[in-house]
Amino acid sequence: MGCNTPRFRRPRQMDIRKGVVSLATGAGAVYLLYKAIKAGIKCQPPFCSASPICIARLAIERERHGWDSGELRRLLNSLECKQDAYTKSMILHSITRCVYLLEQETPPCQPGPWGLPACVLDNSVKIQALNTLKAFSGIRKFRLKIQEHSIKVLELISTIWDSELHIAGLRLLNNFPLPDFVHPQLRRVMPALMEILQSDYILAQVQAIRLLSSLAQKNDLLYDILNCQVHCNFLNLFQSTQPGSLLFEVLVFAERLSEGRSSPHYRAVKWHYNKQSLHEALFGDDSRLADRLLALVIHPEEDVQIQACKVIVSLQCPQDAGIRPSCPPSHSCFNNGE
């Protein structure tokens, strides 16, 4: 019997060990839970609100109950505190997502919150601040207020050579019509916009060409665009090897320039262009634009084909051709039988 005693005691010892381990594990879990709760109490609202789960929950609650959670307002107010660049960037990112998810919750246009995103443009979180303003610009009642910052955005784009900054700033400017008081600044930054167009970063190029296409429809800016200096290889933008998205936008730009220079208002003045100007590259006597356009007529993408044909037609027929019996010959490289 004495030999069998350890056999009966061993399971009891194992039970004791399991109990001790369970007790220790439970105590550890309680301690970790205590730390989590304590950390949650100390956590600043902006960081708690930055969670995608938190923002999604707010959107669901708004749809279910139809009440204002005030989350966006709290995030805007939190920018009044002095934070480091990382903290401000995270808060701005949360504000941007809140605007897209909780559009109904947007506060009235008040001086308090509204001055803050614009002020942030002066420090190290420019790109995120531009994205935040872009989100707000999608709401009609805020566009006029955001337009007041157009000059500052143009200044950033023209003085800082950073592709991500260019994309963020140009996306913002392309999201609403630019007011007339910005036109003098646009003339000053036109060379910078043309340089971005001729860079090697596709996303920035597309945004730049969209802005230039819009500006080409302004009578008081058309000459400044056409007389802007470009690189000698500017027509490389019309090569069939370029991405279809960029080619389409470049062709739209060329069509609008062609229509603008053929309008009665523009033809009423005798303009003079420098030899390296965009006008000479596209419409000058030595331009090879015709060759590029003819090659694009058989481009694999249908949108590019159609737009290339539109440019060819606009080069042949002035804008006021509708009131004439036929399209008279115009000064273009198609007239020589090329």
Per-residue confidence (pLDDT) for residue 159, from 0 to 100? 94
- Residue 220 makes CB contacts below 8 A (sequence gap 6+) with 183
| Both tokens assigned to 70 | 């005030």
Nearest 5°: CA angle at 151, between 145 and 154? 120
Q: What is the pLDDT of residues 87-128, one digit of tens each?
A: 888 888 888 888 887 655 455 544 334 555 656 666 678 899
Would you say the C-alpha torsion 109, 151, 197, 251 has a positive or negative sign? positive
Q: Are 91 and 78 in contact (CB under 8 A)?
A: yes
What was the pLDDT predicted at 231? 96
Helix axes 202-215, 163-173, angle to 10 degrees: 30
Q: What is the pLDDT of residue 235?
A: 97
pLDDT at 233 over 90: yes
pLDDT at 173 over 80: yes
pLDDT value at 30 more than 70: no
Phi, psi of 119 (to 5 degrees): -65, -30
Phi-psi region of 337 (alpha: psi -120 to 50; beta: other; left: phi over 0): left
Tell me what the mean pLDDT of segment 266-273 comes to.
93
Asked if residues 307 and 251 have their Cβ atoms less than 8 Å apart, the reply is: yes
Confidence band, pLDDT 50/70/90 cuts, at residue 49: very low
Q: What is the DSSP string of 170-215?
A: HHHHTTSPPPGGGHHHHHHHHHHHHHHHTSS-HHHHHHHHHHHHHH
Nearest CA-CA partner of 224 in 269, 279, 268, 178: 279
pLDDT score, position 224: 97
**Total count of residues recorded for the chain:** 338
Contact 132, 96 (CB under 8 A): yes
Of 50-54, 112-116, 150-154, 256-260, where does mean pLDDT reach its minimum?
50-54
The mean-pLDDT minimum among 6-10, 184-188, 261-265, 315-319 falls in 6-10
**Which pLDDT score, from 0 to 100, does residue 8 have?**
44
CB neighbour burial string for 160-184, b if at least 16 within 10 angstroms, e if fewer: eeeeebbbbbbbbbbebebeeebee
What per-residue confidence (pLDDT) applies to 258?
95
- Would you say the C-alpha torsion 244, 261, 223, 295 has a positive or negative sign? positive
Query: Lowest-confidence range among 9-18, 90-99, 202-211, 328-337?
Result: 328-337
- CA–CA gap between residue 247 and residue 301 (Å, rounded): 10
Query: What pLDDT shows up at residue 318?
Result: 58
Segment of 41-45, 147-151, 166-170, 330-334 carrying the highest mean pLDDT: 166-170
* Mean pLDDT of the region 223-244: 96
- Percent of the chain with pLDDT strictly greater than 70: 66
- Four-CA torsion 232, 235, 241, 245, nearest 10 degrees: 120
At residue 79, the pLDDT reads 74
* Cα–Cα dist 206/199, whole Å: 11
Owner of token pair 């007239």: 335
From 247, 267, 250, select the one nearest 318 (Cα to Cα): 267
Greater model confidence, 148 or 239: 239
Do 229 and 287 touch, CB atoms closer than 8 A? Answer: no
pLDDT-based confidence at 65, cuts 50/70/90?
A: very low
CB 145 within 8 A of CB 105: no
Side-chain half-sphere exposure of 234, counting CA atoms within 13 A: 25
In this prediction, residue 105 carries a pLDDT of 47
- Predicted confidence band of residue 77 (pLDDT cuts 50, 70, 90): confident
Report the pLDDT averaged over residues 242-260: 96
Q: What is the pLDDT of residue 338?
A: 44
- Is residue 64 over pLDDT 80? no
Highest mean pLDDT out of 56-60, 90-94, 223-227: 223-227
* Mean pLDDT calculated for residue range 292-321: 88
SS3 69: coil
Read off the pTM: 0.73
Among 93-102, 259-268, 328-337, the range scoring the smallest mean pLDDT is 328-337
Q: Above 60 in pLDDT, residue 238?
A: yes
Burial letters for 306-327: b for 16+ Cβ neighbours within 10 Å, e otherwise? Answer: ebbebbbebbbbbbebeeeeee
